[in-house]
């Protein structure tokens, strides 16, 4: 057991009583046992902490205090982590039972390891998104709930940037890539995400932040970045319109057959 790397898992939560227990059980139920679990609560007003306390003997660190947003909460968890490898799973999401085992066994020679993400809607599997490093310089093509990063990468290249409200994960992934971190892909479902009820109000902010991030790390491609920004906006807005007029089957067909970032529908 001592020869196995310690994996730190961070969950951030705020008023997450509805799903936090499912997330906790998915971490504690991992087939890989050498795990340090850290929960960062933003000062929940509901029963979140009562649920967390049911498992406190199996949780290494619980932090409960107001924060400055998602990035700040992530960074608190990373600072508390002592593992060689750090994964982040939010309170609405959950891991597959062999997730950490597969990451450690298949990604030991990499700095950053990622896999596939299964999305659920109304309690049923909807589609699976395959991670794809090839397009990371264009958009967030790596599924952040599936990502595991070596602690040395955070120490060398920094943590999450508090100035971003939506695309903080993209900023981190692109920063690690342009600085030469080695990315490895595990072609298996690592994590699950519920996406019903997701708000679309901030998607444009996400696109703008993505553009700013690319202009920062890839300034020589600035004109291409702007062109891709407009393409990206259209690629998000058009399917929303098509689905609203009842032609969702066309959107599914395109995403599963022609999209660069493949979505496999169940």
Average pLDDT over residues 136-156: 97
In a domain, 133, yes or no: yes
Question: How confident is the model over 17-41, as pLDDT tens digits?
Answer: 999 999 999 999 999 999 999 999 9
Position 83 scores a pLDDT of 98
Rounded to the nearest integer, the mean pLDDT of the chain is: 90
Average pLDDT over residues 74-99: 97
Question: How confident is the model over 172-213, as pLDDT tens digits?
Answer: 999 999 999 999 999 999 999 998 645 456 888 999 999 999
In a domain, 73, yes or no: yes
CATH classification at residue 159: 3.90.550.10
Tokens 């310690």 appear where? 6
Position 212 scores a pLDDT of 98
Question: In terms of residue numbers, what domain contains 117?
Answer: 7-195
In a domain, 29, yes or no: yes
pLDDT at residue 239 tops 70: no
Average pLDDT over residues 132-150: 96
Q: Are 116 and 129 in contact (CB under 8 A)?
A: yes
> What is the count of structural domains for the chain?
1
Position 195 scores a pLDDT of 81
In a domain, 250, yes or no: no
Position 238 scores a pLDDT of 73
pLDDT at residue 71 tops 60: yes
In a domain, 97, yes or no: yes
In a domain, 255, yes or no: no
The model carries a pTM of: 0.91
H helix intervals, the chain = 20-28, 48-53, 70-80, 99-107, 151-157, 168-178, 203-217, 222-244, 248-257
């Amino acid at each position: 057991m001592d020869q196995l790397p310690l994996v730190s898992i961070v969950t951030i939560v705020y008023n997450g009583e509805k799903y936090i227990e499912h997330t906790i059980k998915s971490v504690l139920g991992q087939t890989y046992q050498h795990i340090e679990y850290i929960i960062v609560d933003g000062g929940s007003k509901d029963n979140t902490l009562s649920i967390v306390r049911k498992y406190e003997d199996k949780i290494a660190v619980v932090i409960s205090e107001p924060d400055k947003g998602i990035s700040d909460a992530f960074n608190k968890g990373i600072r508390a982590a002592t593992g060689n490898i750090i994964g982040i799973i939010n309170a609405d999401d959950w891991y597959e039972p062999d997730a950490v085992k597969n990451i450690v066994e298949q990604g030991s020679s990499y700095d950053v390891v990622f896999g596939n993400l299964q999305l659920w809607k109304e309690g049923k599997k909807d589609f699976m998104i395959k991670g794809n490093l090839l397009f990371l310089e264009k958009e967030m093509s790596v599924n952040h709930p599936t990502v595991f990063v070596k602690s040395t990468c955070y120490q060398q290249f920094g943590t999450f940037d508090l100035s971003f409200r939506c695309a903080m994960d993209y900023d981190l992934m692109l920063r690690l890539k342009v600085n030469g971190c080695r990315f490895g892909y595990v072609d298996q479902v690592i994590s699950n995400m519920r996406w019903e009820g997701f708000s679309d109000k901030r998607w444009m902010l996400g696109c703008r932040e993505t553009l700013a991030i690319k202009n920062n790390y890839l300034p020589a491609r600035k004109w291409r970045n702007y062109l891709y920004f407009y393409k990206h906006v259209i690629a998000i807005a058009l399917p929303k319109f098509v689905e609203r007029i009842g032609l969702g089957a066309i959107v599914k067909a395109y995403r599963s057959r022609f999209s660069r970032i493949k979505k496999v529908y169940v």
